[in-house]
Chains A and B, each alone.
Chain A
């Protein structure tokens, strides 16, 4: 926030820092709402979150029978971003996962920052999307991370 305060209103650095703080704010608000109890959903939330397909016998073409089990265990929340599931490392745990989910829904991706050499700068902004509809842009975001700053298709402002 010091950097936002230091930036002249209207300058490119100011705009990037403003987006950074807005993204942080949205993430935090989502954390607060995720933690808020009670939930208003009518019905049992856990049974939906933890639902998985039952293992069953399936008859294949030709008559052979196999025992089919679900390939994946359910995640502990349905508010998730598949690239941000290390909730045991996040300060607010699963609530942070919901925060990334909310960033993705609202900003079109988790808002990432090129922190420059110092690790404290904002040289560029990138949006890492989770939604299937944005599958094509995901790869271009990833590419932009590995190419020089400012050349990414989804970068908002370039260069430090």
Chain B
């Protein structure tokens, strides 16, 4: 038993499915709302492309982009990038996400409802 007690307290990784319906619905809607913004689409599209746009390269603190850098020519997305980004977003299943859920200390007040474990 002693060795079990000595284990460090590690957060377990849980899925949105463990939430009660109301909390679940609000979180999933929040994530989808963020993803549906043009800003999120443009951001995620750069990851799908594989290179950031030149405009992102220029305005990053610590940027090493200078006049001759080849990224300066990357001003628009390559073909199909926006379509694939939207396809990924539309097919995205929030159940693949994993969130930390630290195990509560036994002396804390138990929650009123919907305990996850």
Contact = CB atoms under 8 A, between A and B. Distances in A.
B44 A29 contact: yes
Interface string A11-40: 000000010011011101110111010011
Contact of B52 (A1, A5, A78, A120): A78
Interface of B: 14, 16, 18-20, 22-23, 26-27, 30-31, 34-35, 37, 39-40, 42-44, 46-52, 56-64, 66, 68-71, 74, 78-81, 84, 88, 92, 94, 96-102, 104, 111-112, 114-116
Given A1-B18, A48-B70, A39 B48 contact: yes
**In the complex, the 8 A-B pairs of residues with the closest C-beta atoms, listed nearest first:** A39-B50, A82-B62, A33-B47, A41-B50, A6-B111, A1-B99, A105-B43, A1-B101
Nearest to A49: B51
Contact of B61 (A25, A78, A82): A82
Given A1-B18, A4-B27, A9-B22, A78 B47 contact: no
Contact of B14 (A1, A120, A132): A1
B61 A135 contact: yes
Interface residues of A, number: 50
B57 A132 contact: no
Contacts of B74: 48
B111 A82 contact: no
Given A2-B111, A6-B111, A18 B30 contact: yes
Given A45-B50, A80-B60, A28 B88 contact: no
Contacts of B78: 40-42
A160 interface: no
A75 B64 contact: yes
Secondary structure of the A contact surface, majority rule: helix
Most buried by A among B19, B62, B92: B62
Contacts of B57: 78
Contacts of A53: 66, 68
24 contacts: A2-B102, A2-B104, A2-B111, A5-B18, A6-B114, A9-B26, A18-B26, A21-B31, A24-B99, A26-B40, A30-B47, A33-B48, A36-B48, A36-B88, A40-B84, A45-B50, A49-B51, A78-B51, A82-B60, A105-B39, A106-B40, A120-B102, A130-B60, A131-B59
A40 B68 CA distance: 23
Contacts of A102: 43-44, 47
Given A6-B111, A9-B23, A47-B70, A79 B34 contact: no
